[in-house]
Amino acid sequence: MSDHDILNPKEMPHDPEKATLEGKNKFIGFWFFLGGETVLFASLFGTYLALRNSTNNGPSSEDLFGLGLVFIMTMLLLTSSLTSVYAMYHMKNNDFKKMQVWLGITVALGLAFLGCEIYEFYHYIHGYEFTFRSSAFGSAFYTLVGFHGGHVVFGLLWFIALMIRNAKRGLNLYNAPKYYIASLYWHFIDVVWVFIFTVVYLMGVL
Amino acid sequence: MTENNTTDQLDYHKQKKKEEMKQQVITFVLMIVFTIIAFAMVQSDLDALFVIPIILVLAAIQVGFQLYYFMHMSHKGHELPALMFYGGVFTAFLCIIALAVLVWW
């Protein structure tokens, strides 16, 4: 059997993302990376918690945050997490088209989230003159939330690249692990957002 | 005979995946409900010292759902990922405690 036949079996195994050694290695390695990402975000959360009252006479979190927009953003990201679960469900059933469609919906929801975040930052900068340099609170806020936004951008580019690159290939044992790991990354972005909306926004207006 | 067996197995696995998908939709609904509760509690006039611990617990439960159902940590073969991820969570905990102590001591 050639490599091509091995990667394109007639019947997909039940866990296509872990059927090859490369897939298994990616799976373990990626969880290792997520452990490291947790520590990275913890350092940013810790910094934010320490500096959130150092407003340097500028706007405070109570002046700035509007919960309506944050609620919409939370719903968008949470729903996009579910749609990527649907995409992985179709991957396991070896239904490539449906997987691509659900990933497309995930990307659309992610873009909507990103649009809200850009609007939010624009509003703070131009409406309140609250920038990265305004205060220690400003630096900590934009670093933490901006880093999360950067992860969203990276996750979106990752999904789009996978979808375009494999559009004509279809699903096989070579790219199944890639899709699976991109969706893990997307769920992790939602995990971080749950703590951002709780610690930054909800605790910020209390 | 073997032909029959494999189709039976395929059906069995398909059914299992379907059931899992159903669980994941239920998880999603619960997460939405928790989010709404957290936002509603903050909007109400309750005392901040009472609300903060509750919304933190709600966030932790949501993250647990995300990890165990959406990221499949409830499946077999996640011992090493769990070790690595919880190692990260432990370090994250130390990190936040250390920064908090530095500022508030």
Q: Which tokens is A55 given?
A: 């407003």
Q: What is the mean pLDDT of chain A?
A: 94
B75: amino acid identity, one letter: H
How much of chain B, in percent, has pLDDT values that exceed 90?
70
Q: Is some CB atom of chain A closer than 8 A to the CB atom of B71? A: yes
Residue window 29-68, chain B: list those with CB within 8 Å of chain A. 31-32, 35, 38-39, 42-43, 48, 51-52, 55-56, 58-59, 62-63, 66-67
Cβ <8 Å between A36 and B85: no
| A37 pLDDT higher than 70 | yes
**The pLDDT of residue B4:** 59
In CATH, what is the architecture of A16-205? Up-down Bundle (1.20)
CA nearest B11 in A: which residue? A93
Element (H, E) at B14: helix B2-43
pLDDT band at A8 (very low <50, low <70, confident <90, very high): confident
CA nearest A82 in B: which residue? B28
Residue window 152-171, chain A: list those with CB within 8 Å of chain B. none
Backbone φ, ψ for residue A162 (5° rounding): -60, -45
Cβ <8 Å between A82 and B42: no
pLDDT band at B1 (very low <50, low <70, confident <90, very high): very low
CA nearest B68 in A: which residue? A187
Give which of A204, A105, A196 is closest to A150, Cα–Cα: A196
Domain parsing of chain B, residue ranges? 2-74, 77-105
Most A-contacting residue of B95, B97, B101, B102 (CB-CB within 10 A), to test interface: B95
A198-202, B5-9, B55-59, range with the lowest pLDDT: B5-9
**The pLDDT of residue A11:** 76
Mean pLDDT in residue range A57-78: 94
Task: Find chain A residues with C-beta within 8 A of B62's C-beta.
Answer: 194
Task: Find chain A residues with C-beta within 8 A of B31's C-beta.
Answer: 78
Kindly report, residue by residue over A146-171, the tens digit of the pLDDT: 999 999 999 999 999 999 999 999 99
| B3 pLDDT higher than 70 | no
Q: Is some CB atom of chain A closer than 8 A to the CB atom of B25? A: yes
Kindly report, residue by residue over A107-153, the tens digit of the pLDDT: 999 999 999 999 999 999 999 999 999 999 999 999 999 999 999 99
How much of chain A, in percent, has pLDDT values that exceed 90?
88
Q: Using CA of residue A66, residue A116, residue A183, residue A49, what is the dihedral sign? A: negative
DSSP codes, chain A: --HHHHHS-SS--S-GGGSSHHHHHHHHHHHHHHHHHHHHHHHHHHHHHHHTT--TTS--HHHH--HHHHHHHHHHHHHHHHHHHHHHHHHHTT-HHHHHHHHHHHHHHHHHHHHHHHHHHHHHHHHS---TTT-HHHHHHHHHHHHHHHHHHHHHHHHHHHHHHTTTT---TTTHHHHHHHHHHHHHHHHHHHHIIIIIIIHHH-
Mean pLDDT in residue range A166-194: 95
| B2 pLDDT higher than 70 | no
**The pLDDT of residue A100:** 96
Most A-contacting residue of B66, B78, B94, B102 (CB-CB within 10 A), to test interface: B66
| Residue B82 to residue A100: CA distance in whole angstroms | 29
pLDDT band at B5 (very low <50, low <70, confident <90, very high): low
**The pLDDT of residue A110:** 98
